[in-house]
Amino acid sequence: MDDDGAQAPAEVVHSADGHLAHGYLTGKDAYLKRLRRIEGQARGLQRMVEEEQYCIDILTQVSAMTSALQSVALGLLEEHLGHCVAEAVAAGGPEADAKVREASAAIARLVRS
């Protein structure tokens, strides 16, 4: 799975909804690395619970993992605003409004989660 990016020369991918994923790729490997670390944190939490480590230490790890996740989300969001939303806005029309509303709803979910 990890080799996928290296093997695929066609870095411009059309997703199901037709958006260009080009800009997205900029930091793809960095995102994957961060997400693998987050996956490792999830396994670490299981080990801590398995070994019945001290609750407060587990909670500290959960906070660290939540911060790491939020940081990934904020990075993806910035790329989304700078690419997908920007392109839709530049093109104008109802699609522009829809993209802004969609991004705003995603931001609301992040703020409230």
- Written as one string, the DSSP assignment of 48-97 is HHHTT--HHHHHHHHHHHHHHHHHHHHHHHHHHIIIIIHHHHHH-SHHHH
Q: Do residues 54 and 9 make contact, with C-beta atoms less than 8 angstroms apart? A: no
Residue 56 in contact with a second copy, rule: CB under 8 A: yes
Rounded to a whole number of angstroms, the minimum distance from the CB of residue 41 to a second copy is 8
Residues 7, 46, 93, 94: which binds a second copy (CB under 8 A)? 46
Give whichever of 9 and 46 is closer to a second copy, judged by the CB atom: 46
| C-alpha to C-alpha distance for 22 and 111, rounded to whole angstroms | 27
Residues 7, 9, 66, 94: which binds a second copy (CB under 8 A)? 66
Q: Which two tokens mark 7?
A: 């093997």
Residues 52, 93, 94, 95: which binds a second copy (CB under 8 A)? 52
Question: Where in 85-104 is the site for a second copy (CB under 8 A)?
Answer: 85-86, 89-90, 92, 96-97, 100-104
**Amino acid letter, residue 74:** L
Question: Where in 20-39 is the site for a second copy (CB under 8 A)?
Answer: 21, 24-25, 28, 31-32, 35-36, 38-39
The sign of the dihedral angle between the CA atoms of 78, 18, 35, 113 is positive
Residue 6 in contact with a second copy, rule: CB under 8 A: no
